[in-house]
Structure 1
Amino acid sequence: MSQSSMITSREQIKSDPFLLKILQQRSSVPKEKLDSETSTWLENLREQSASWVSRLKFPSKKDEEWRFTDLSSLLDLDFTAAKSGTVESDTIDLIPEATESRIVFVNGLYAPELSNTSGLPKGIYVGNLTNLPEAYCKYFRPYLGTQAGAEEVFTSLNTASITDVAIIWAAPNTVVEQPIHLLFISVTEDSISFSQPRSWIVAEKNCSLNIIEEYTGQSSYLTNAVTEIWLGENAQINHTRFQTESETAYHIGKTAVSQARASRYTLTEFNFGGKISRHNPEISQQGEQTETYLNGLTVANGEQTADTHSIIALSKPHGTTNQLHKCLVSDRAHTIFNGKVFVPKAAQLTNAAQLNRNLLLSPKARVDTKPELRITADNVKCSHGATVSQLEAEEIFYLRSRGLTEDNARQLLINGFTAEIIERISLKSLSTKIATIVAKKTSS
């Protein structure tokens, strides 16, 4: 379908009341904190995205990409734009290795009093857009909002509402040993609020970064987050993303990544919170000899719905991608996995593997899984698959015969299932934190 026909079909859709209500509450661009050229450019970008949103519709189960995830409960809530919130510094669960390399946003707004970047070396900027040095703005403008998938409804909604951006920008040949912690906290008072955090990460040629992106909060709210990442030639990013949102919150996130030649990107994600959550990792390999590794663990209980929709698009020869996503589901919870890997004719000599493994802990838990490989190249090595299983009674009996209680035997088997992903975290303190969360969510 051509772009003009797409626009025509969108214009035939009546403006969606929910999306328009969110648009009407967006804050204005802080002109007093940006240079005039950047302020004008950002306003134009916002208006372009707002125009897209006005022609889109709120996703429903009739849409193929959303047929397993029912967002209709969002329409019954009276959302208001989040205001600046207060968080006491001693209530933040800090990562010890990143105490001097963190940037914090509360309700989508930069919190300088909670941030600390004093431990970072030269060659990297970690901060926010409104404090970005004017000399850097001309390099920033060509990037923001240009990743593939920018016209998707929630991405467009986020772009239309940008007032500030979390920025990590590493100059060529910069190697940062300590992890950089991006922390997004949601706090609400009387109303049900929404915030739309935006992150922009660039690792230029020969850079090496370790990023931790965390979302957490209290009470009922909607987080609609977008993170854009660019890797230059031979750059490397190890990215850990996890969300422990409130049990009554909604979390929708996108991670859009563009990789240049010989770059290496590793994403290890953990989805624990939210009444309904969805994450969309979308990776575009733009150069030869590019490597992408996606590791994921979703733990859902109660009546949670947790959705992971990933896209990995290769475009050059000698690309490598390996994805392993695990789901641990109990009670009446529901998890969804849909992973797409595109291998066009130009991507010869590709090595692509994708596997989704699911463990059901109760008879009413539900899993929908759909791994996909779309291959037109003829000289490739590709595989994909999915498994759904339960704890084996024979395994529990064997462990009990060795002196373990039934609960301990059950937890030992669960730990064995989740350890494969948790052990891929390089930071000991973070892997311990994640393992503790898993144990708490799966305890009888």
Structure 2
Amino acid sequence: MNNPTLDKTSQETYLDNLLQQCQANSPVIDAEYLQNLRKNAVSQVKELSLPTRRDEEWRFTDLSELYQLEFKTAKPEKVTQQIADIFILPEAQKSCIVFVNGQYVSELSNVSALSTDIYVGNLNNLSDTQKSKIVKYLGKQEGEKDAFTALNTAGFKDAAVIWVNPNIVVETPIQLLFIAVASDTPTLIQPRTLVVAEKGSSLSFVEYYGRLEQCSDVIQNQPYFTNSVTEIWLEDNAQINHSRIQRELANSFHIGKSAITQNQDSRYTCNEVNLGAKLSRHTLQILQNGNQTETHLNGLTMIDNQQISDTHSAVLLNHPYGVTNQLHKCIIDGNAHGVFNGKIFVPKPAQVTSATQLNRNLLLSSKARINTKPELQITADNVKCSHGATISQLEADELFYLQSRGLNETDARHLLIDAFAAEILERIPVNSLQERLTQCVACRTVDA
């Protein structure tokens, strides 16, 4: 058990208290399908239990500190345009929507650069016609049910929505900005995102989780808990490049789930970077729902001190000629603990499949830890698949070589760490974001 004092009854009480918080602060919803969605989620929460280290999928991730805190639903907070501009990418100044503590802020959002063939906004502002289309997608992703996802659905107030009409190519990168504002009490924030790319469409978007401390002698910034859910649908021949950036406060908790369904000939790329939070967990579930479907997963985790970062992914290749490539890197320093568990399923129907998976880990201190478990489950007989994991430290001969070329030991270490991270960061399609994250990695390397 995670926490010896948190028995089964206590866990049920804790989860019920979180559910009551969500229900007490949720707005009245007129749409019948949303009422039913929330009602079903409430029933799921009551049937499910919170994960512990006795659960196979959570055995390396200790949630006891999370369970010791009594969270209240986050209240609206005022964020100025000047502060929001710190997080908004230059390429997305007129294609960005902003949520603060999970609530849409229209005055900080600007989508004037986008055509009428694409909707970028919040769920509550959809037209009646658009809302009728949402029914097919919202809350309809397949996959395992879990308490955190059900809790998000039971209590979500609004959602970020991207909807691209058929055969529309969106050249401008879109940013979904979620700002968490710390307060004097532990708070629960539940962002929700829905992205639908219709047949033949193409887009690139950034899902960015930033944080804001309140500087005051009166307010002591307490931990907050971001519980996010993102649903992405790609219809036939659609293409999405998705960059997911997590930079929460150092004392916060972040548990996120991304569920993606790809139809025939679609192409999905995820560039994931995890830098913040005391404890973070991201679960990726991808269903290839058609022939000749491509999935590319690129990930970077950089943690130090006492941070815990857990990445779980599952790719289901259910049709012939599927392709998936995954490369996830971890840079771990101090007493930090990284976890990677990637699964690729290749059943009998998925003939002529190509799948590769690699987890590379760089440990910078003697107390840094990594638990890695890449998995391939194959029953098809005409496939090309490989998987593996590496755990290493900085190579002495590489340090020696750089020092022989005039660098001191510290600069040589920084150069090697930056190069290790660059392989992932260079795949991010938004230049300013790539540069910003490169600088962030460099700064953390110097601080270390």
Pick one of 401, 415, 420 that aligns with 1:417: 420
SS in 2 for 1:416: helix
Partner of 1:402: 405
Deviates more, 1:351-360 or 1:183-192: 183-192
The one of 96, 113, 119 equivalent to 2:113 is: 119
1:389-431 Cα offsets, whole Å, 9 max, x none, are 0001221122112110111000111111111101101222111
Deviation for aligned residue 1:372 = 0.2
Deviations 1:303-332, CA, capped at 9 Å, x for gaps: 100000000001100000000000000000
Q: CA deviation at 1:149?
A: 2.7
User: Relative to 1, partners in 2 of residues 1:369 and 1:217: Cα closer, same or farther, differing over 3 Å?
Assistant: same
**How far apart are 1:273 and its partner, in Å?**
0.2
Shift of 1:441: 1.7
Instruction: Give the secondary-structure state (helix, strand or coil) at the position aligned to 1:25.
Output: helix
8 Å CA contact retained: 2:174, 2:205: yes
Distance 1:423 1:175 in 2: 23
| C-alpha distance in 1 between matches for 2:315 and 2:281 | 17
Q: Secondary structure of 1:16's match?
A: helix
Aligned mates of 1:339, 1:16 — CA distance in 2: 29
Q: Is the 8 A contact 2:269 2:297 kept in 1?
A: yes
Root-mean-square deviation (CA), in Å? 1.4
> What aligned pairs does 1:13-52 form with structure 2 within 5 A after superposition?
16-27=12-23, 30-31=27-28, 36=30, 38=31, 40-52=32-44
1:29, distance to aligned residue in structure 2 (A): 5.1
2:253 maps to what in 1? 250
Matched residues in 1 for 2:105 and 2:143: separation? 29
Q: Relative to 1, partners in 2 of residues 1:14 and 1:299: Cα closer, same or farther, differing over 3 Å? A: closer
Aligned equivalents of 1:399 and 1:173: distance in 2?
Answer: 50
Tell me the distance in 1 between the aligned counterparts of 2:438 and 2:277. 18
**What letter corresponds to residue 80 of structure 1 in structure 2?**
K
- CA offset at residue 384 of structure 1? 0.2
Select between 90-99 and 348-357 the one with higher mean Cα deviation.
90-99
Question: After TM superposition, what 4+ stretches of structure 1 lie above 6 angstroms from structure 2?
Answer: 12-15
Q: How does 1:13-412 map to 2 (within 5 A)?
A: 16-27=12-23, 30-31=27-28, 36=30, 38=31, 40-92=32-84, 93=86, 94-149=88-143, 151-218=145-212, 219=221, 220-412=223-415
> CA separation in 2, counterparts of 1:192 and 1:331?
26
- Between the two proteins, the alignment pairs up a number of residues equal to 428
2:377 is paired with a residue whose SS is strand
1:437 equivalent to 2:429? Answer no
Distance 1:150 1:413 in 2: 39
CA distance in 2, matches of 1:205, 1:141: 18
TM-score normalised to the size of structure 1? 0.94
Q: Which ranges in structure 1 are unaligned for 5 or more consecutive residues?
A: 1-11
TM-aligned CA deviation for residue 188 of structure 1: 2.6
Shift of 1:150: 5.8
- The 1:15/1:358 distance shift into structure 2, 3 A limit, reads closer
Q: Could you say what secondary structure the match of 1:378 adopts?
A: coil
Asked if 2 retains the 8 angstrom alpha-carbon contact of 1:124 and 1:168, the reply is: yes
Determine if contact 1:257/1:283 at 8 Å carries over to the other structure. yes
**Rounded Cα–Cα distance in structure 1 between residues aligned with 2:56 and 2:135:** 34
Please tell me whether the aligned partners of residues 104 and 110 of structure 1 are also in contact (alpha carbons under 8 angstroms). Answer: yes
Q: Give the Cα separation in 1 of the matches to 2:394 and 2:411.
A: 13
Query: Residue 229 of structure 1 aligns to a residue in which SS?
Result: strand
TM-score by length of 2: 0.93
Deviation at 1:190, TM superposition (A): 1.2
Change (3 A) 1:14 1:377: farther
Contact 1:154 1:224 (8 Å CA) reproduced? yes
Q: Distance in 1 between matches of 2:274 and 2:92?
A: 21
Q: Distance in 1 between matches of 2:15 and 2:373?
A: 29
Shift of 1:122: 2.2
| SS of structure 1 residue aligned to 2:22 | coil
Q: Secondary structure at the match of 2:182?
A: coil
Deviations 1:105-155 (A, max 9, x none): 000000111110111012111111111001111110121111123621111
SS of corresponding position for 1:138: helix
**What percent identity do the matched residue pairs reach?**
54
Q: In 2, Cα distance between the equivalents of 1:185 and 1:122? A: 26
| Cα-to-partner distance string for 1:90-112 (whole Å, 9 max, x where unaligned) | 11222000000001100000011
Give the superposition deviation at 1:174: 1.1
Could you tell me how far apart the structure 2 residues matched to 1:52 and 1:14 are? 18
Deviations 1:209-267 (A, max 9, x none): 00100001144200000000000100000000011000000000011000000000000
Distance in 2 (alpha carbons) for counterparts of 1:142 and 1:203: 13
Counterpart Cα distance in 2 of 1:427 and 1:46: 36
